[in-house]
Amino acid sequence: MPSAALATPSVAVLKRVARSHNLTDETYRRIVKTLGRAPTLTEVGMFGVSWSEHCAYSSSKPYLQQFPTRGPRILVPAGKENAGVVDIGGGWAVVFKCESHNHPSAVEPVQGAATGVGGIIRDIFTMGARPIALLDSLRFGPLGEPRSRFLLEGVVKGIADYGNAVGVPTVGGEITFDAAYRDNPLVNVMCIGLVPVRRIARAAAGGVGNPVLYVGSSTGRDGLGGASFASRELAEGRDADRPAVQIGDPFTEKCLIEATLEALATGDVIGIQDMGAAGLACSTSETAARGGVGIEIDVARVPRRAEGMTPYEVMLSESQERMLLIVKRGREERVKRLFAKWGLAAVEIGRVTRDGLMRVRDGPAVAAEIPASALTDEAPVYHRPVRRPAWLSRAQRLPLARVPLPKDYARVLTTLLGSPTIADKSPVFEQYDHMVQTNTVVLPGRADAAVLRLRSGRRPERSRGAAVLRLRGLGRWLAATTDGNGRACFLDPYEGGKLAVAEAARNLVCVGARPLAVTDCLNFGSPQDPAVMWQFKACVRGIAEACRAFKTPVTGGNVSFYNEGPRGAVDPTPVIGMIGLIESGMGPMTANFKDEGDAVILLGETREELGGSEYLAVIHRRKAGRPPRVDLAGELALQQLMLTLAAQGLLKSAHDCSEGGLAVALAEGCLMEPSRLIGATVSLQPPAGARRPIRTDALLFGESAGRIVISCARYHVERIEHLAARHKVAMAVAGRVGGVHLCIDSWIDAPVDELSEAWRSGLRQALGVRR
Amino acid sequence: MKFGVVVFPGSNCDQDCLDVLRDVLGQPAVPLWHQETSLKGCDAVVLPGGFSYGDYLRTGAIARFSPIMRSVARLAKDGGLVLGVCNGFQILLEAGLLPGAMLRNTGLRFICRFVTLRVERADTPFTNRFQPGQVIRLPIAHNEGRYTADAKTLKAIRDHVVFRYCDEDGRVTDAANPNGSAGALAGLTNERGNVLGMMPHPERASDSALGSSDGRLVFESMLEAMVHA
């Protein structure tokens, strides 16, 4: 029982605190029932954060069970640890996860984004993996609006300040702009790490009597209630939320990475968990519950940076760069010395107990005593009402007769190339250190996915004094991408969900990588809105179907609800982070055309699909219609064909056809490598006798799924035709590489250097970045 | 020849340098922890890039007080080779082993990309494998790379500038200067020529798989100079 002195606020006060954590009166009653008594203030807080939507997935859990989570390469399935673990062979595994930091970034973009990076990196190295890459998936309102520019610049600075200093390269990602995100930007960060299979660390406590160490920065009042904050819509008066945003310190994080990996290598650490959302409260109860044991800690021993903090505040603080370690008894001094070498405090704050209780002391007094599993496993699950939005049918109507055909297709192409969503992103990624660790073999913006060479990873020197064995290279490459399409999901969340997964997989096969596994960030509005829950349900079904079809299990991720502002919810935006492996000795492929005379080939079929396209949005200012339909079997056949072509070394380039359609994909093939601009002459005209002619704008700028533009030496065309037929993939030899113009039938004839200028200056001008 | 790579808390290119020295150059190379004083018999020392001590006060300002820096200064005084890359260059400036200081890039943004450089001196222990006037490609990755010094110093160091930012044809122009560095300076030696500070990262361009192997020649030059010393 908690000490009487700490347990006496009135029920009215407790209920008010509970409501401040977004706990309903009914949930409060449930807490009382679980404990068999009234909770203390600290206990209300601990339940509040542990049972928040952010930590407990209360509204999403019933749907997330549809995701396939197992596969031959999955070593740790979703939900069991901090991140998923995928076997890549040779005794090595990849650990990866994607997480959102939308709400903090809307309030304070620099710190919001920075702490997002810091948090996801900690999820990776707490598994024993060295973080080797970051990708960011970002969405903002139109760049013409000052607030969007302020948010974009702040978020990019936050990612750069943190990622660059911590020494993990930011190698890829995506940035899109749409009015749907003007109040509530999306900031999703994915981190990838590499770990020897036998060194994978666990986030479970064990061994009764083992000491619990607190490691890293001191605890302050920053970020108090962050997890509850993220589970609430942004109020009009954003500044009032500022204390809930944490401050990041990449220097401490860098030291924490090195010290933690050294500590894990000693074998003295039983369990380890980062203190992320809901800080000490979640990290202690989760490690206890996973290990089937109890943990007792004394908050009086927790290093602090603010005076007079209550147990409630210490337990709920979200101060950054802190970890919880359970170490073998008798080895604590050795572990502490190791952290001290890196200038980090490691303090014994408690021990593992037998009773399964999460007990929080404040010196002699007991401030909380809760069954650990009650916090983690008994959170309420809400079966929220679901209703198809009334406006959807109207949004899906797109009478093409009322969409006028453009007079000048070349001008449309130039406009699309310069639109911020399509334009060159180098003004952003040049602010990120994308080369540190010297594994980035394809620079950002040169291919459809980021590609890293895989080496043996780094071992801490002097570990156990043993000779350090270094494998020179693993002879394979890791590819990674993030993809999402909010507009498509807005118009049809089920097809949009499939599309996001299909595009991610297509991006990977375009560099020659076999898709392995998925992490996802699901960004939606308020789950209390039945229309949002309908979108969520449909999206998850689409993602699950696609992941099952492609045999790419979901290994983890997060759900971010309440992405709303005064003007409504964001577009439903699932972001798919996918990793793949290049195992053939040919190495990665890039997207740009290479040599005069090479054949340009289109794989896949173009249908009259303009719904939800960038062309409609940018040129006709419309967000309407049905998004492109995804044929999962056709996508899979395309993936398999691409992997065969890549393995046989038949291709010179490959580029997925997405925003802006074929015309943009062809133009990008001409201009993506700035030092080697090259033209192409192609014909998209369907062969005579084709069923029904397609509108020219749909042919050029429509975004039908399942299409890839490849180029190859002419003498390989026949072989490729043969393989495409065998895989039942539609193929058309469309033209050839060469010259200094891009010519498409009689519709477009544009000098590549002009197209290149439009593409390169689009974002640069909007941001005022000098080359 | 044995190389040492100093590891400050916050260094993040230390392992990249060790990789190149061991795997590409094939030489023994060891990390030197900043709190130690022994150089462990190293013939040459590299101060790697990164954010030593978080660079919170001023880049390199705290690292120069590390115990290992006294030994590095002694090595320099005895004629041993010391290479500072990026943050390592900033530390050499703060430690007074090279003259001048670094300001924030004129664009006020971090810049990470390949740049072209002109080799101004091919007769130093760090550049003897290059041709004078050769144009090379190396990546930069920094926030504070705008070299500055008073007029007298700028005049005095004129002959010690080893690399300048230039365009692809070797012309030194404002447009080719990524950070506003005085005289487009990208690399500088001390008067004796045995200490080099450079902002571009040779260790990131020592393997053609990474887009350029021009940087390897910096390390090969050091080896050449030491073998024939």
Cβ neighbour number for residue A648 with a 10 Å cutoff? 14
- End of a domain among A332, A351, A380? A380
Options B86, B94, B142, B166, the catalytic residue: B86
pLDDT surpassing 60 at residue A384: yes
Distance CA A433, CA A431 (A): 7
The interface residues of chain A toward chain B in range 96-135, judged by CB-CB distance below 8 A, are none
Q: A520 in a domain, yes or no?
A: yes
Phi, psi of A206 (to 5 degrees): -170, 160
| Per-residue b or e along B146-179, where b marks 16 or more CB atoms closer than 10 Å to that residue's CB | bbebeeeebeebeebbbbbbbeeeeeeeeebbbb
Q: A92 in a domain, yes or no?
A: no
pLDDT surpassing 90 at residue A505: yes
| Alpha carbon separation from A7 to A33, A138, A300, B131 (Å, rounded) | 16, 45, 17, 79
CB B92 within 8 A of CB B126: no
Residues contacting residue A633 through CB under 8 Å, at least 6 positions apart: A549
Distance CA A575, CA A102 (A): 13
Least confident of A471-480, A584-593, B4-13, B45-54: A471-480
Which of B19, B53, B107 comes nearest A438 by C-beta?
B19
Asked if A466 and A526 sit in the same domain, the reply is: yes
The per-residue pLDDT for A14 is: 83
Pairing type for strands A514-523 and A568-569 reads unpaired
Alpha-carbon distance A167 to nearest alpha carbon in chain B (angstroms): 5
Does residue A481 sit in helix, strand or coil?
Answer: strand
Asked if A702 and A555 sit in the same domain, the reply is: yes
User: Tokens standing for A319?
Assistant: 């101060």
Cβ neighbour number for residue A62 with a 10 Å cutoff? 15
Which of A250, A435, A769 comes nearest B141 by C-beta?
A435
Q: A188 in a domain, yes or no?
A: no
Q: Which helix (H) or strand (E) holds A734?
A: strand A731-737
The per-residue pLDDT for A470 is: 30
- CATH number at A749 reads 3.30.1330.10
User: Tokens standing for B18?
Assistant: 């060790």
What is the tens place of the pLDDT at every residue in A53-91?
888 888 999 999 999 999 999 998 877 777 889 999 888
Asked if A755 and A709 sit in the same domain, the reply is: yes
Asked if A273 and A398 sit in the same domain, the reply is: no
Quickly list DSSP for A671-733. HSSTT----EEE--PPPTT-SSPPPHHHHHH---SS-EEEEE-GGGHHHHHHHHHHTT--EEE
Q: Which of A166, A194, A341, A436 to mutate to test the interface with B (most CBs of B within 10 A)?
A: A436
Can you tell me the mean pLDDT for A300-316? 91
pLDDT surpassing 90 at residue A760: yes
CB contact under 8 A, A251 and B203: no
Q: Which residues of A are catalytic?
A: 54, 101
pLDDT surpassing 80 at residue B38: yes
pLDDT surpassing 50 at residue A460: no
Name the closest residue on chain B to residue A438, using Cα atoms. B204
**B83 bridge partner residues:** B46, B196
User: Tokens standing for A106?
Assistant: 């809307």
Cβ neighbour number for residue B135 with a 10 Å cutoff? 16
Alpha-carbon distance A438 to nearest alpha carbon in chain B (angstroms): 6
Q: Which of B21, B90, B110, B144 to mutate to test the interface with A (most CBs of A within 10 A)?
A: B110
pLDDT surpassing 80 at residue A101: yes
Name the closest residue on chain B to residue A257, using Cα atoms. B10
Identity of the amino acid at A701: F
Question: Model confidence at A437, in pLDDT bands (50, 70, 90)?
Answer: very high
Q: A79 in a domain, yes or no?
A: no
Asked if A492 and A522 sit in the same domain, the reply is: yes
pLDDT surpassing 70 at residue A771: no
% of chain A with per-residue pLDDT over 70: 93
CB contact under 8 A, A435 and B51: no
Residues of A in contact with B112 (CB under 8 A): 164, 429-435
Output the CA torsion sign for A290, A291, A292, A297.
negative
Can you tell me the mean pLDDT for B115-127? 98
Least confident of A155-159, A435-439, A685-689, A708-712: A685-689
- CATH number at A300 reads 3.90.650.10
Can you tell me the mean pLDDT for A550-559? 95
Distance CA B96, CA B90 (A): 10
Question: Model confidence at A466, in pLDDT bands (50, 70, 90)?
Answer: very low
Residues of A in contact with B5 (CB under 8 A): none
Number of residues that this document lists for chain A:
771
Residue ranges of the domains in chain B? Answer: 3-227
Residues of A in contact with B15 (CB under 8 A): 437, 458
ipTM, two decimals? 0.96
Name the closest residue on chain B to residue A170, using Cα atoms. B112
The per-residue pLDDT for A52 is: 85
| Alpha carbon separation from A132 to A123, A438, B11, B101 (Å, rounded) | 13, 10, 16, 32
Asked if A365 and A414 sit in the same domain, the reply is: no
Greater confidence (A764 vs A4) lies with: A764
Q: Show the CA angle centred on residue A244, arms to residues A279 and A49, nearest 5°.
A: 40
Distance CA B109, CA B97 (A): 27
Question: Model confidence at A17, in pLDDT bands (50, 70, 90)?
Answer: confident
Does residue B116 sit in helix, strand or coil?
Answer: strand
Distance CA A19, CA A14 (A): 9
Can you tell me the mean pLDDT for B96-119? 96
Cβ neighbour number for residue B69 with a 10 Å cutoff? 21
The per-residue pLDDT for B209 is: 85
Asked if A407 and A547 sit in the same domain, the reply is: yes
Name the closest residue on chain B to residue A455, using Cα atoms. B19
Give all strands of the β-sheet with A170-177 in edge-to-edge order. Answer: A74-76, A84-89, A92-100, A186-196, A130-140, A170-177
Distance CA A501, CA A547 (A): 7
Distance CA A280, CA A299 (A): 10
Q: Show the CA angle centred on residue A149, arms to residues A148 and A152, nearest 5°.
A: 85
Q: Which helix (H) or strand (E) holds A347?
A: strand A346-353
Cβ neighbour number for residue A347 with a 10 Å cutoff? 15
CB B162 within 8 A of CB B198: yes
- CB of A217 less than 8 A from some CB of B: no
Q: Which of A130, A132, A194, A251 to mutate to test the interface with B (most CBs of B within 10 A)?
A: A251
Residues contacting residue A471 through CB under 8 Å, at least 6 positions apart: A90, A455, A456
- Tell me chain A's radius of gyration from C-alpha atoms: 26
CB A598 within 8 A of CB A711: yes
CB contact under 8 A, B204 and A438: yes
Which of B50, B143, B201 comes nearest A167 by C-beta?
B50
Residues of A in contact with B109 (CB under 8 A): 160, 431, 769
| Alpha carbon separation from A343 to A4, A216, B67 (Å, rounded) | 39, 9, 15
Name the closest residue on chain B to residue A456, using Cα atoms. B19
pLDDT surpassing 90 at residue A586: no
Asked if A404 and A372 sit in the same domain, the reply is: no
Does residue A502 sit in helix, strand or coil?
Answer: helix
- End of a domain among A380, A406, A434? A380
Q: What is the mean pLDDT of chain A?
A: 90
CB A569 within 8 A of CB A524: yes
Residues contacting residue A566 through CB under 8 Å, at least 6 positions apart: A183, A236
- CB of A461 less than 8 A from some CB of B: yes
Q: Residue A755's closest CA among A511, A291, A304, A411?
A: A411
CB contact under 8 A, A430 and B111: yes
Q: How many CB pairs (< 8 A) connect A and B?
A: 87
Q: A98 in a domain, yes or no?
A: no
Q: A665 in a domain, yes or no?
A: yes
Can you tell me the mean pLDDT for A235-259? 73
Question: Model confidence at A688, in pLDDT bands (50, 70, 90)?
Answer: low
Domain count, chain A: 2
Find the distance separating the first CA and the last CA of chain B, reported in whole Å: 11
CB contact under 8 A, B13 and A436: yes
Asked if A430 and A372 sit in the same domain, the reply is: no
Does residue A84 sit in helix, strand or coil?
Answer: strand
Question: Model confidence at A223, in pLDDT bands (50, 70, 90)?
Answer: low
Q: What is the CATH number of domain B3-227?
A: 3.40.50.880
% of chain B with per-residue pLDDT over 70: 100
Can you tell me the mean pLDDT for A11-20? 82
B220 is catalytic: no
Identity of the amino acid at A420: P
Residues of B in contact with A432 (CB under 8 A): 110, 112
Range of the domain at A237: 1-69+202-380
What is the tens place of the pLDDT at every residue in A627-660?
999 999 999 999 999 999 999 999 999 999 999 9
Residues contacting residue A473 through CB under 8 Å, at least 6 positions apart: A453, A454, A455, A456
Name the closest residue on chain A to residue B8, using Cα atoms. A342
Identity of the amino acid at A4: A
Alpha-carbon distance A345 to nearest alpha carbon in chain B (angstroms): 15
What is the tens place of the pLDDT at every residue in B143-164?
999 999 999 999 999 999 999 9
Distance CA A75, CA A57 (A): 23
- End of a domain among A339, A356, A380? A380
Q: Which helix (H) or strand (E) holds A766?
A: helix A752-767
